[in-house]
Structure 1
Amino acid sequence: MLALIGVSGDALAHAVAQGDKGYIQEISGVNLVSFIYLGAKHMVTGYDHILFLFGVIFFLYKMQHIALYVSLFALGHSTTMLLGVYFNIGINSYLIDAIIGLSVVYKALDNLGAFQRWFGVQPDTRAATLLFGFCHGFGLSTKIIEYDLSPDGLVPNLLAFNLGVEIGQLLALSAILIVMGYWRRSPSFMRHAYTTNVAMMCAGFMLIGLQLTGYFVA
């Protein structure tokens, strides 16, 4: 994760690969399979999404709880991505990605029990997951708007892209759950849970700092 965070500013702003960008700009008409692939690719390689999901399921052990939180995140992500592109609602990519970095910091602090210790309250984690899902969706819609998609086949292509995002999310989540399943059975899990969440919080702060720097410099 830290190695990925050290790459160029474009990669930190929910960017789509240059080859994919050119294809998106040139494509016209309904191309469902292509957009499903692009959506899945974005989610699997979107380390900020994966880092937030990792934090969300870190202390979730029951599948029904995992399904609930992942569904809330998917609902938020899908809603703002689709509506943002369709109605041409864009947010500065640096600012929205800074908020996405904030979502990672929030989840790490929540896992550490910081809000209860500092303020004596526990935020509604379900509402927070949905809210930050909205933010993650705007991060992607903002970049898609910049690529000026053809209106020909826009709605089917967006729906296909969103389906791909959900497929990619399930693939990433499956990999995380397999690793977490083995780790949780090890005595080292509870010993290193605190350190892991502190590292995740630091990665979130780095994302925030890099995006805010990009905003003021660019």
Structure 2
Amino acid sequence: MILLMLCTGVDAWAHNVAEGDKGYIQESSGILIMPFIYLGAKHMVTGYDHLLFLFGVIFFLYRLKDVGIYVTLFAVGHSTTLLFGVLTGITADAYLIDAIIGLSVVYKALDNLGAFQRWFGVQPNTKVATLIFGFFHGFGLATKIVEFEIAQDGLIPNLLAFNVGVEIGQLLALGAILILMGFWRRTGSFMRHAFAANTLLMTAGFIFVGYQLVGYFVALSNSLFGE
């Protein structure tokens, strides 16, 4: 996953949307349920930030009940701020939001490594953290959608359809991850390689953060001094 992220170019990172999808969103008008379900599912399945975070969340979850709880918390947070941001038009700087999303990946990797317990003697509430980072993931996507100036005609049905697509995409991606994790956990190498896997996960998160901060300062410089 990390190699794909590095090889597909910066335009695919975080909440950037493919040019064709962006044009469709900007030009569409009226209620378009199925196309927006497709766009939502596509965004989740190809969203490396979401997939890496979910990978970290379920890394040490063995019971489907626990997986369901955490994924539901993430979905509630993501859906809430996605709808709120688009319907109210409230946004934040996309680079800074995506940097926080990168930090969510770093946090989960450190949590899996037991770093907070060793360093500070405390264990953050993982359920609360998953919900809060879900808020940021949804707000980041809302910020991008608002930038596209989506048509008001059919806005709410289309947003709801998009959100349904996101959840469908999340279930598909999660199913694939769980199947692969199931095979890996049956091998003797799982616990031996868990440290290395979460170190790579943390590295990917820091790469996200660095990329977004560079983009933020470049954009800030261009706005202050001109391109």
User: Is 2:69 the counterpart of 1:45?
Assistant: no
User: SS at 2:129's partner residue?
Assistant: helix
In structure 2, distance between residues paired with 1:94 and 1:9: 13
Task: Return the TM-score normalized by structure 1.
Answer: 0.98
User: SS at 2:116's partner residue?
Assistant: helix
Aligned residue number for residue 3 of structure 2: 2
Unaligned runs of 5+ in 2: 220-227
CA contact (8 A) 1:69 1:126 kept: yes
Q: How big is the alpha-carbon RMSD for the aligned residues of Structure 1 and Structure 2?
A: 1.0
CA shift, 1:8, in A, is 4.2
User: SS at 2:78's partner residue?
Assistant: helix
CA contact (8 A) 1:94 1:215 kept: yes
Aligned residue number for residue 194 of structure 2: 193
The 5 Å alignment of 1:20-169 reads 20-169=21-170
In structure 2, distance between residues paired with 1:58 and 1:13: 21
Moved over 6 A (4+): none
Give the number of aligned pairs: 218
Give a deviation string over 1:72-120, Cα, whole Å, max 9, x none: 0000000000110000011111100000000000000000000000000
In structure 1, distance between residues paired with 2:82 and 2:130: 16
In structure 2, distance between residues paired with 1:114 and 1:6: 30
In structure 1, distance between residues paired with 2:149 and 2:208: 26
Task: Return the TM-score normalized by structure 2.
Answer: 0.94
CA shift, 1:141, in A, is 0.4
In structure 1, distance between residues paired with 2:53 and 2:148: 26
Aligned residue number for residue 225 of structure 2: none
Unaligned runs of 5+ in 1: none
CA contact (8 A) 2:40 2:165 kept: yes
Give a deviation string over 1:123-172, Cα, whole Å, max 9, x none: 00000000000000011001000000100000000000000000000000
User: Taking structure 1 as reference, are residues 7 and 182 closer, same or farther at Cα in structure 2, changes over 3 Å only?
Assistant: closer
Instruction: Percent identity, please.
Output: 69
The aligned amino acid for 1:49 is H
CA shift, 1:9, in A, is 4.0
In structure 2, distance between residues paired with 1:13 and 1:75: 19
In structure 2, distance between residues paired with 1:10 and 1:212: 15
